Amino acid sequence: MDLRVVDVEPGEATIWLPYREELVGNPKIPSIHGGILAGLIDLAGGAATFTLTNAPTPTIDLRIDYVRPALQRNTVAAAEIVNAGSTIAFVDVDVLQLPEDAGITEPDQVDPEQLDEVGKLVATGRATYSTKNAKPEAGPDDIPIG
C-alpha cells in the first residue's frame, strides 16, 4: 500500500497512505475501498501498540465506523493508545483525508498536531491488541511498516 510512518511517539503512531487509483473500491464515486481503510486502521493501531511493547501485537478485535466516503486524496491514520495493560491494549484510530488545497503532498509535510484542524474525518476505529509478548530491548525505530 506504499505506507509511510509520519510520526511515532510512545503510545501513538501516524501513518500516511498516498492516494492511488488501484485503492478505489467504488469507481462510481470513486472512493477508497473500505478494506484498505480497515487495514490502515489496524496497522496504525498496531504501530502505536508496538511503541510500548516493542514486539508484534496480534489484533484481538477491530471495530470500524465509516463516516463518509474516502475520496481521491492522500489519507492519514492517527492512532493513540487509550489504555494498555500487561496483556491487552485498547487503541483509538482516526482516519483523515487531507484537502487538496492544504498543499500537503508528502508525508514529511504532515503535522500530527494539526491533523484535526486540516484533515476531514472519513473513518474511526477502535482496536484491541495482545501485549503479552513485550520485548523491552527493541525500540520504536524497529516498527515493521513500509
User: Could you tell me the pTM of the whole model?
Assistant: 0.87
Whether residue 16 contacts residue 4, with contact meaning beta carbons closer than 8 Å, is answered with yes
User: DSSP per residue over 74-118, as a string?
Assistant: -EEEEEEEEEE-SSEEEEEEEEEE--GGG---SGGG--GGGHHHH
Placement of cell 480497515 in the chain: 38
Query: Is there a domain that residue 143 lies in?
Result: no
User: Domain range holding 90?
Assistant: 4-138
The CATH number that applies at residue 14 is: 3.10.129.10
Query: Is there a domain that residue 73 lies in?
Result: yes
Query: Is there a domain that residue 144 lies in?
Result: no
Query: Is there a domain that residue 54 lies in?
Result: yes
* Segments in the chain below pLDDT 70: 136-146
Query: Is there a domain that residue 145 lies in?
Result: no
What is the pLDDT at residue 146?
A: 47
What is the pLDDT at residue 89?
A: 97
Query: Structurally, how many domains does the chain consist of?
Result: 1
pLDDT by residue (tens digit) across 40-74? 999 999 999 999 998 889 999 999 999 999 999 99
Query: Is there a domain that residue 46 lies in?
Result: yes
Query: Is there a domain that residue 49 lies in?
Result: yes
What is the pLDDT at residue 51?
A: 92
What is the pLDDT at residue 143?
A: 59
